[in-house]
Structure formats: C-alpha cells, structure tokens
Homo-oligomer: A and B are copies of this chain.
C-alpha cells in the first residue's frame, strides 16, 4: 500500500501527551478509510509534526486527519524508502 508523509505546522508547545492524544484520535477512526498511521514525530519548538501513514490515497489520510481535528498543511506520497 502507498505510504505518505504529511506535515502539520503551528503545533508550537505540543506535549508528548498531546501528540499521543492526537495520534490515538487518528487510530480510532483510521480503519474507516483504510488508513494505517505508522508513526508520528513532533517538535514543540517549531510546532512541526510529521506523520507517516499507509493509505490508498492522500484524500483518505486527509479525511481522517480532518475528522480527528488536525488537518495537515502538506502531504506527499513517499514511494521510495531506504
């Protein structure tokens, strides 16, 4: 299944607990769009959050993130990995 990396900006001050809550909110509904969120990384200082997922399309990832309350600013497929 295709993999995607999406970026959220403006999450300045995000905590470990806040990241976990956001991720859990995604996981709770991801199956409805066939998405699998694999990992997320965050930088409280710059407010950047990166999410790596597997899905059929960027739209599926977008729908889950939006429904969970944290739409991304940028998303791209990452068909190559090393």
Contacts and interface: CB of A to CB of B under 8 A. Distances in A.
Interface in A1-36: 3, 5, 14-16, 19-20, 23
Interface of A: 3, 5, 14-16, 19-20, 23, 39-46, 48, 50, 52, 76-82
B78 A50 contact: yes
* Chain copies in the assembled complex: 2
Contacts of A80: 14-16, 19, 41-44
Contact of A77 (B14, B23, B45, B82): B45
Nearest to A7: B7
Given A20-B82, A42-B81, A50-B50, 11 more contacts: A5-B50, A14-B80, A15-B80, A16-B82, A19-B82, A39-B81, A39-B82, A41-B52, A41-B78, A43-B79, A44-B80
